[in-house]
């Protein structure tokens, strides 16, 4: 199995449990590793035969910018569900971070894996 990835995608959204957080937009940072098979796309150079990372990014940016969440955990579950339902992905690893949320830490957040993990993942 192969991995198509998106690293350090930054999106502005409403996220947090505190009243002041509900009144502002904050940056979340996302890394997404998606298991797919790229062989057909590589052999034909046909974008329609691969996982289009730009399409995935645009879909998630639109969703997250319009959504409002109390917990980053809820956002992570919904993002994972969208990717698995709408794109040719069997497994994903998602990191969602809230940079600057904790004084002294560069970033905090969650990492989740969803879907059926392939037996063979490059670099894992």
- Which residues are designated catalytic? 98
**Order of strands across the sheet with 2-15?**
68-69, 2-15, 26-36, 91-97, 109-115
Q: How deeply is 96 buried, as exposed, middle or buried, from its count of CB atoms within 10 A (0-12, 13-18, 19+)?
A: buried
What distance in Å separates the CA atoms of residue 15 and residue 76, rounded to the nearest whole number? 12
What distance in Å separates the CA atoms of residue 39 and residue 2, rounded to the nearest whole number? 9
Which residues, other chains included, contact 77 with Cβ-Cβ below 8 Å and sequence gap of 6+? 112
């Amino acid at each position: 199995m192969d991995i198509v990835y998106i690293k350090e995608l930054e999106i502005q959204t409403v996220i947090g449990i505190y009243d002041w957080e509900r009144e502002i937009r904050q940056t979340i940072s996302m890394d997404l590793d998606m298991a797919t098979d790229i062989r057909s796309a590589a052999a034909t150079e046909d974008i329609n035969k691969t996982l289009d990372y730009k399409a995935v990014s645009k879909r998630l940016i639109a969703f997250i910018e319009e959504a409002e969440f109390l917990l980053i955990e809820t956002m992570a579950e919904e993002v994972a569900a969208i990717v698995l339902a709408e794109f040719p992905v069997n497994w994903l690893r998602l990191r969602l971070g809230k940079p600057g949320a904790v004084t002294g830490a560069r970033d905090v957040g969650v990492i989740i894996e969803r879907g059926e993990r392939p037996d063979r993942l490059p670099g894992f």
